């Protein structure tokens, strides 16, 4: 197998697994100092792949600089998990994280949580999902209130 073929396979696998590749640089580890190559996990393969953030369709994303908003989601079915809630919200925009709260003593879900979404998608998600029936429950979706420090 030629080096070019190996590079293509590595980039393709990373693209499929990570879901994004905009720019990929394949560097032979011989061009790096040995400690740096080892620290980056490339010592055994002899190839170091650096992937910069971007979608596989070639459009660049700036996820780190994306403004977000946290939404409160109430009246969730107790059987709903983070993955299910993420899939529901992703139908209406970009979701960064989902956190469903659990009872400290029993470990059971409490029926509400928080979804961190792209600011540009937040209002649409609220409009589309608030008062929507989901697994025989009527969801309550609104912008989350900021936690207040108890400084008095």
Counted domains in the chain: 2
One domain for residues 42 and 88: no
SS3 43: coil
- What the block records as the tokens of 60 is 């660049």
Residue 151 lies in a domain: no
One domain for residues 77 and 32: no
Asked if 27 and 63 touch (Cβ cutoff 8 Å), the reply is: no
- Among 15-19, 35-39, 57-61, 140-144, top mean pLDDT goes to 140-144
User: Mean of the pLDDT values across residues 117-125?
Assistant: 96
Position 151 scores a pLDDT of: 52
Q: Which of 107, 115, 57 is CA-nearest to residue 82?
A: 115
* Residue pLDDT, tens place only, 55-75: 444 444 444 457 999 999 999
One domain for residues 38 and 96: no
Alpha carbon distance 46, 42 (integer Å): 6
SS3 24: strand
* Residue 98, beta-bridge partner list: 115
What's the chain's length in residues? Answer: 152
Give the least confident one: 1-10, 79-88, 127-136: 1-10
Higher-pLDDT residue of 96 and 151 is 96
Q: Which of 114, 67, 65, 64 is CA-nearest to residue 86?
A: 114
Residue 37 lies in a domain: yes
Position 18 scores a pLDDT of: 45
Residue 96 lies in a domain: yes
Here the CATH number for the domain that contains residue 98 is 3.30.70.330
Position 146 scores a pLDDT of: 82
One domain for residues 46 and 98: no
* Residue pLDDT, tens place only, 75-103: 999 999 999 999 999 999 999 999 999 99
Alpha carbon distance 47, 117 (integer Å): 36
Residue 59 lies in a domain: no
Q: Which domain holds residue 134?
A: 66-143
One domain for residues 72 and 121: yes
Position 133 scores a pLDDT of: 96
Position 20 scores a pLDDT of: 44
One domain for residues 73 and 128: yes
């Amino acid at each position: 197998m030629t080096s070019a073929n190996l590079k293509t396979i590595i980039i393709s696998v990373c693209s499929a697994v990570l879901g994004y590749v905009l720019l990929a640089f394949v560097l032979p580890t011989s061009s790096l100092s040995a400690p740096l190559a080892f620290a980056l996990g490339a010592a055994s393969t002899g190839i170091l792949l650096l992937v910069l953030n971007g979608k596989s369709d070639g459009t660049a994303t700036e996820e780190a600089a994306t403004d977000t908003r946290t939404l409160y989601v109430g009246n969730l079915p107790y059987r709903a998990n983070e993955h299910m809630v993420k899939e529901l919200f992703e139908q209406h925009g970009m979701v960064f994280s989902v956190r469903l709260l659990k009872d400290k003593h029993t470990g059971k879900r409490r029926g509400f949580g928080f979804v961190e979404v792209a600011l540009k998608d937040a209002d649409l998600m609220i409009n589309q999902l608030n008062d929507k029936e989901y697994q025989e429950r009527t969801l309550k979706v609104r912008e989350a209130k900021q936690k207040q420090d108890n400084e008095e």
